[in-house]
Structure 1
């Protein structure tokens, strides 16, 4: 299991309808050969998370990863995301590109699941204690945003995933909800910042949706792949940038905050490629504070999200300008 505490054998049988790991591996082998024309060798491991499962296995062309979903309501979206990821790969973006089937598709529906195939990419998960890796990740996100802004079939994904509410509406709704663990001073500052935030709504575009350490592979100081585009959606790019900066260090069941220095390094990497507009820069402090506050759990706070929110009150101003 990737993050759930359940028994893997039970989940495989009850959720994914396989008697055991051998049955799942056999199904993957037959399906990959039928649709991709690739002979699958021994299965190395199976990882499951909610409605998704992944299998690593050997082929004559190297190691491959098959990923399938049982969430039928997402099948159209998964197919659209596979096409988008393949397009990003053709544009030179560091993504884990889906392999094309014998009939030219990048995602197939078979036996009640939606299945894709990728090659395994070398690399370790992003280490937020490395300034070089953090800066590189920020630069990669900026390039990814630039590419996604010109994706020619973006309307298809927008229709499948409506754009997010305006930033002021999202934050106002949160302020109107119950958040008993949030420091009162920080909440008051958030209200003050929201009151003077730019009034004009920011444009939306396709963004990754879940850009953080768990989905970024790095070798040395080079990002080798951005993984898992399943949360891609139309959003304000500054919203994703701020959310990613706050959640950058999170991995599976390890959800602790990063330091202000890490956030600043990540932002600097982003702005080395794409400078924020004045309106975006004006939203930065507000968004970082809001996301930090929203991460504070209702019960115990062992990883220190409350302290991170207090530290966010001391953020320096974000600059814009020519590159």
Structure 2
């Protein structure tokens, strides 16, 4: 559980100076006073309290109580990413409509899924989502891991054919030094999650109730995403550890209960899994 009040997600720096230098707020209390006005003016939401704020690089996540229930407010201060973030918010709504367990953003009063507002020292791209309650994926729960594999396949099906020229058309995590001689794949490249792991998966028992953090969304083959997920599945924020091979097999079995791998994809999977495990040190 993340702490109440203000904290850093993963960086080993003091939170209050980071809040001031990156966003221009003098403290958590200043944020708690500023947020209700923005939510009221742009979304027509009455905020009744701000419980928690986490800083991650140039981004922030806030947990807010409101007349619409518990909310998560996310913002970024990187103008070059504003169009991508808007497109990602639109994608979340589409995925929700296609049955993927994601938090669909609440629309602003003018219909936007995300809004650019004035912050203390510059523009902020802000999104508002309903809070999804659950536990981080426990890789020792075989049923939950199987469900996570099926959920990843469901996500890939929902992403098939989806295009938006504001979203990435390349994969920042491409495996560029793979061994030669891998067979061609029948499946075309498509949008994939790129960060499907315990820290981005909320569960209730054996059910996945929330897939989080589409910030690394990119273009690639589905089997690349599956192999990467198998290697990194057990990682939680700063708690990085190897994923046992039995857990990887369960994740793959869940995936193939929805989308069976072709012989060529199976060969790619074996090579990519080893490649990522060596590259990351998570063996």
TM-score normalized by structure 1? 0.81
Matched with 1:175 is none
Matched with 2:136 is 125
Matched with 1:283 is 268
- The match for 1:110 among 104, 117, 132 is 117
Cα deviation, residue 61, structure 1: 2.3
Cα deviation, residue 32, structure 1: 0.9
Would you say 1:73 and 2:86 are equivalent positions? Answer: no
**5 Å matches for 1:216-295?**
216-295=201-280
* Maintained 8 Å contact 1:136/1:222: yes
Q: Name stretches of at least 5 consecutive residues in structure 2 with no aligned partner.
A: 1-7
From the superposition, tell whether residues 61 and 165 of structure 1 become closer, same or farther in structure 2 (CA, over 3 Å). Answer: closer
Would you say 1:142 and 2:167 are equivalent positions? Answer: no
From the superposition, tell whether residues 79 and 264 of structure 1 become closer, same or farther in structure 2 (CA, over 3 Å). Answer: same
Distance 1:46 1:200 in 2: 43
Would you say 1:61 and 2:46 are equivalent positions? Answer: no
Q: Cα deviations across residues 85-144 of structure 1 (Å, max 9, x unaligned)? A: 011111221001111111111111111010000111110000001100100000000000
Matched with 1:171 is 177
Cα deviation, residue 200, structure 1: 5.6
More strand by share: 2
Distance 2:206 2:186 in 1: 36
| Greater Rg by CA | 1
Cα deviation, residue 7, structure 1: 0.7
Matched with 1:318 is none
Cα deviation, residue 166, structure 1: 11
Greater shift in the superposed pair: 51-60 or 212-221: 51-60
Cα deviation, residue 164, structure 1: 3.5
- The match for 2:188 among 203, 211, 231 is 203
Q: Could you say what secondary structure the match of 1:56 adopts?
A: strand
More helix by share: 1
Q: Cα deviations across residues 2-42 of structure 1 (Å, max 9, x unaligned)? A: 11111111111111110111111222111111111000111
- The match for 2:50 among 26, 40, 43 is 43
Cα deviation, residue 171, structure 1: 2.2
Q: Cα deviations across residues 247-287 of structure 1 (Å, max 9, x unaligned)? A: 00111101111100000000000000111122211111100
Distance 2:149 2:177 in 1: 24
* Maintained 8 Å contact 1:216/1:225: yes
Q: Could you say what secondary structure the match of 2:70 adopts?
A: strand
Distance 1:109 1:117 in 2: 12
* Maintained 8 Å contact 1:218/1:224: yes
Distance 1:166 1:204 in 2: 14
- The match for 1:83 among 90, 99, 114 is 90
Cα deviation, residue 234, structure 1: 1.2
Count of aligned residue pairs for this structure pair: 272
Q: Name stretches of at least 5 consecutive residues in structure 1 with no aligned partner.
A: 173-193, 297-304, 309-323
